[in-house]
A and B are shown apart, each in its own frame.
Chain A
């Protein structure tokens, strides 16, 4: 394999971004967008992994390395970005604002890949911020009312998350005196720092209740952007959490319980809320919330039972990769649906789309099943105390996902075709679907799964289908239709009216009167007689004052004056 210098991973997209600023180069660079992440892919797949690099002069001293944890993340992230970029090229071919989109995409890509290889806090944070902020551009791209609302919510959460993350990272760094990212998981790190960092990352992860931005953003963004948002960027949150949490060292029951509660809430809430939405992309997004909550649950378990961490960690990675591919395939499929008219072609597409959906629901023989199995294996090592609820939780998760997938597919099936979407948007999707199918074989050493487990994996899907059919029958019979929820949940209450003015108002009226105001004065009329009086009185007063206060002298009057001259 080719030896890829590690710093090329973020540098290639950045270099392209710089080139992108030159108008002449733009068309060429644009077509290179799908290639940009490949440096990362190469680096991840290289054997041996690229050597760590340290660049002292860059920022506060930058360090890049391909860690064992980062490597799979880099791999699937890069693949995802590449395919999403490809589809974006096709999808936005005629969009007048496409350059802006690609610029943001390159920046987000650089951030996403960079943060996975960054080894020092500053550059990790920098890449993280680059990713978050430029994704804002991806979310906003369409600039409709929905996009603006989503963008505002997104940037609010993102910035808040950034800031909290910054606070946590800096606290951790200053407490340890170490600027390496690895140090943030160390024992001297204050709990506050860990909590802040975790909070910042959980925003990115989409954990309840910090998930509010997520369905909005995914629904609002163009499909390829949703794909990377969901497939790659959410994983950055997971990656961050896996890096900064003190996992595998000491049990943190409190933290574990909190995290577990959040995760369980996500698991339950996500399907409930998602089912009420009418936008397939929003439904898919809720599914992401659920899936990410599942991964959070794994983290919670590892916090509670450090010993289980070595087993849970690969499972989480596996889960992440699986979810990345599957969800990306689904999102990339959305334009494909748009591009296909209703009829057999669409049915074919739907069938192919069902594959990642089933995988997500944990259908045996899919990457989903493999991942779930791995997680179960990992959790088994930790099953004591409240962790006995993990099993039902996993079931619930699968059930919820299955229901959401059914809902999504139904919505997609009914989606109106868009004539301006070219058919070749399907190519990246096909490639992604291929990856999903090939998923189980891509895993280096898959966990052993038995048939019983396979069957139990099937259970939630069956239940879900049954439920769905039941509900459908009931609704059809009662001539009812599902009321859809406005996007944004509680935030919809504060959503602006159609043409919102972002946080602006006219400046306050200018205050008057700071300075001394000078008015016309009457002409000065000298009053000499008063002056004369003044002279008289001043002289008299001075004379008296001097006479009275002076040192007493011998008083000898009657010296004749005439003898002077």
Chain B
């Protein structure tokens, strides 16, 4: 079981890292700020969630799960909020007379 869990963890973590790379790529390639904000809110959060999940699997203890979960939640909320706020500030500035 632990080996399977370990393997799952590895896979999840690798997947998460892929997401992270995608996010980096997006940040690099996407044309403007509003597009890039997507990276922050989606790819990134997803990547972290996968990594955290994988790590939980690998370490195999429930006690470790709590901080990891908290991490993900916090990052997700932060990312969403920041993304939104930044977007709003940009759009407000652009639409302002």
Direct contact of A and B (CB under 8 A): no
A residues near B, CB below 8 A?
none
